[in-house]
Amino acid sequence: MSDWNPNSTQTKGMEWGVLLSGAYTVPGQFVPAIALRQTVSEATGFARVALGTRGATGGLYVVEAYDNETAVPANVTTLQAQPNEDVSGMGTGLWVEESHATGTIYTQIDEVGAANLADYIQLDVPLGGVIYNGRLNTGGLTLTGKRILAVRLNAVVVVAGAAALEFGLNLSGSKYVGRTNIVNVVNQPVSATWLYNPATKLPWRIADVQALDTSDEYYLDGGAFPGAYLAVYQVWLDVVICDENRLAFGVLDDTLGALTPNAWNTVTLTTPTAGTWTKDGAGYHLYLMRRLNSTGSFNVPFLESWDHVAPNPAHNYNPVLDPTYGYATAMGSALPAVLPLFTRTTAPADSVDGQPYARTQLATVRNGQPAEMEFSNAAAANYGLLRFLVHPHSATGSLLVTVKRRSDNVQIGGTLTVTPASLSAQTRVPNTAYYWIQGQLSSVAGLAAATQYYLQFTTSSSGTGEDYWSVVVADTNGSGSVAGFGGTTDRALSNGSELDAYDIYATLSTVPVAPANFTATLTTQTVAASICGITTIQRASLAWTATALGAGFTRYDIARSLDGGTTWTTFRQITTEATATAIDYEAPFGIAVQYRIRVVRSDGAVGDWSSVGTVTKNSTNCVLYLVSNYDPTYNMVLDYQPDVDYDFLESADRVTHPIYGQDDNLSFIPLEDRGTRANWKITVEFNGTGQTAQGKAAFTSLRNIAKAPLPYVRVLDLYGNTMAATLAVPSGTQFMPGRVYSAEVNATEVVDTFVVQN
């Protein structure tokens, strides 16, 4: 099982889903890739790649290794090399200068740019059929540290009458045609491009290009057409380069259909300078696969991510090829699709740093037959979030997932229970019977460093007949005892067999630690004076040290308990990580109110709760508090008469129905609690104490909170009673003489499930 996951560095295991055979078409398309964590330094000479069905034309497939998954070539440019030497084909009656002179003639065709029509060479027509070989000044090009993307041979020619021109490269004595049967051209450029060395069937190396100045040549073949006319005004070579960022590459040659489809095929890996590649033992390497000629399509099996469908360019996590030269222009995000590939040492032996999966199987989980996935933990951390892929088979019992220590099989942390009924809330793989399960252990698993653990899948199903669960397992498809995630030490148990060739499609992620230094203290809010002389409202001020999850942050959850920690209610969510304070105006008076906080990560992991902070609000005098965390600017304190009238709303829904032939009616009474409406008499002002306005304006503040765009107002009294309610102020009374104002306030209870965000 993996100690690194490309989607999350806090995750053990495989993030990918069902196994598919994906067809990749180039140019201009995404190509398969895999990012692998490197743990040991090895002289790596080979790689194995699982090819699916191949294109009808076969082709050359290049495997390239990069030092990380964001490396892309830079500074793409073109260098030009002019002719600098004749090799053969000069002299009287062969290829000659325009004046029919003899001797060295490459100087007559060395312009690059605007052609000088006075400088050219031509084929001596009476003989014809003679090949001209020349060399190019590629040794003078600055190629150190550069990657050669393409070589393009260019010529400006006149081909008239029956003449036909062919030109190309002459490498180690063998001709490789670039263009043939060029006819009826007058002072027009013609060109041929090679994306790889046709002699070696490998991407161009610097030494290959420099050899065109020493041992290899270009050639011009005029054919045997007496009476025709052929002249060459220019010849030059374009060398398209970029910064070299590859660590190694190798080529699978299927031009003759020699590769085996739906099986593992070995490719030799060397450095760009043809040396032995020794990969380092740290960081991440990206391996991608593409066709060298950048045309056609090919199929490879691969493991997909959360979309569970064939690759789509909109996913943006596979490398994208330049449509002309076939180099990767973008590596996408940190979640590449999985190319079945593992490296081999020059010994050869399978590297521990590889990903060899090429197919899936189902591990049946019955009563007494578990499935298990081992993993080794590098550093101590708290784990709890689980994802895995299952197939329920008419299961009546639950699937149980636990984390256990291998040395003594002791369970660490809680249990994740998946019931058949809970599947409806999970993600189903489209058009299949598979479900992606995401859930959290009932309590976190605190795992130690340098210790081997395992995930265990068991069931409470009877295990008879079709009553069982299946867990999806990745398999190496007979590639031998190769290293999967975590090497050969961590193995999986599937259908009674424990092999290092298996890995269960499951991830176990860390649980974020609770925000540190959480405190709860009493502070106050200043409000307009009530007739009791109260000018402040007590509140709980909460503070903590902000976490540092960055892009992984989703929110803080803040909860309160009114019963000593037995029952907790989340009342506040904060979605800005830098925010490290919150205020609660709604806690009741006279009791100890407890608070705690946790953080939720973007992958769904829910962190531990913090330590508990406690405050106790105290109030005196006969006052009523109308407050709301949604908008505390409306908060107010008022005096009220001690007596409160309660209306029980279900009584208004009583229905009576006459019974035929009887003197009595049948009464229907709702059984559920329809809620409560509390009715208070509020004293707003008493002889100049309290509100300073007169007349109906004395009721403005009270009416404003009743009309405010708030989902509820919390009504608190000094006896510890609390009610989330909507308010109505149907009437007010002014007593004469003097300034005594009272109002009727109706508070209709609402369901108390509100959570303030930000």
Domain assignment of residue 487, yes or no: yes
Domain assignment of residue 2, yes or no: no
Domain assignment of residue 628, yes or no: no
Together in a domain, 327 and 377: no
55-73: string of b/e by CB count within 10 Å (b at 16+)? Answer: beebbbbbbbbbbebebeb
- Read off the CATH number of the domain in which 63 is found: 2.60.120
Residue (of 89, 591, 140, 44) closest to 348 by Cα position: 44
Together in a domain, 301 and 318: yes
Query: Among 226, 243, 260, which residue terminates a domain?
Result: 243
Total residues belonging to the chain: 758
Note whether 55 and 296 are within 8 A (CB): yes
Beta-bridge mates of residue 299 = 23
Rounded average pLDDT per 10-residue block, the chain, 758 residues: 49 64 62 79 89 70 85 88 87 71 81 79 70 93 96 93 89 95 89 95 96 96 76 94 95 84 86 93 84 73 49 50 83 60 84 71 90 89 91 87 97 96 86 86 93 94 78 74 60 89 87 95 91 89 96 94 95 96 95 96 89 91 89 91 80 77 76 80 76 79 92 91 93 80 90 84
Domain assignment of residue 641, yes or no: yes
Domain assignment of residue 6, yes or no: no
Together in a domain, 238 and 249: no
DSSP for 619-635 reads --SSEEEEE-SS-GGG-
CA-CA-CA-CA torsion sign (596, 601, 607, 611): negative
Domain assignment of residue 631, yes or no: no
Distance separating alpha carbons of residues 50 and 265, to the nearest angstrom:
6
- Read off the CATH number of the domain in which 673 is found: 2.40.30
Residue 35 is predicted with a pLDDT of: 76
Together in a domain, 661 and 713: yes
Report helix, strand or coil for 315: helix
Q: At a CB cut-off of 8 Å and minimum separation 6, what does 750 contact?
A: 675, 711, 712, 724, 725, 726
Query: Among 510, 541, 573, which residue terminates a domain?
Result: 510
Long-range interactions of 653-660: CB distance < 8 A, separation 24+: none
Distance separating alpha carbons of residues 637 and 86, to the nearest angstrom:
103
Instruction: Give the total number of structural domains in the chain.
Output: 5
233-262: string of b/e by CB count within 10 Å (b at 16+)? Answer: bbbbbbbbbbebbbbbbbbbbbeeeebeee
Residue 305 is predicted with a pLDDT of: 47
Query: Among 467, 489, 510, which residue terminates a domain?
Result: 510
Together in a domain, 197 and 262: no
Which helix (DSSP H) or strand (DSSP E) does residue 702 occupy? helix 700-707
Domain assignment of residue 756, yes or no: no
- Read off the CATH number of the domain in which 582 is found: 2.60.40.10
Residue 476 is predicted with a pLDDT of: 74
Together in a domain, 364 and 347: no
DSSP for 350-403 reads EEEEEE---EEEEEEEBTTB-EEEEEEESS-EEEEEEEEEEEEES--SPEEEEE
Domain containing 530: what range?
Answer: 519-619
Note whether 154 and 178 are within 8 A (CB): no
Together in a domain, 145 and 239: yes
Distance separating alpha carbons of residues 707 and 97, to the nearest angstrom:
99
Together in a domain, 237 and 254: no
Distance separating alpha carbons of residues 201 and 561, to the nearest angstrom:
72
Distance separating alpha carbons of residues 288 and 286, to the nearest angstrom:
7
Distance separating alpha carbons of residues 407 and 410, to the nearest angstrom:
8
Domain assignment of residue 627, yes or no: no
Count H helices, E strands: the chain?
A: 2, 56
How many Cα atoms within 13 Å fall on the side-chain side of residue 603? Answer: 26
Together in a domain, 666 and 589: no
Instruction: Please count the other Cβ atoms lying within 10 Å of the Cβ belonging to residue 433.
Output: 11
Whole-model pTM: value is: 0.66
Together in a domain, 350 and 365: no
Together in a domain, 331 and 414: no
Together in a domain, 418 and 498: yes
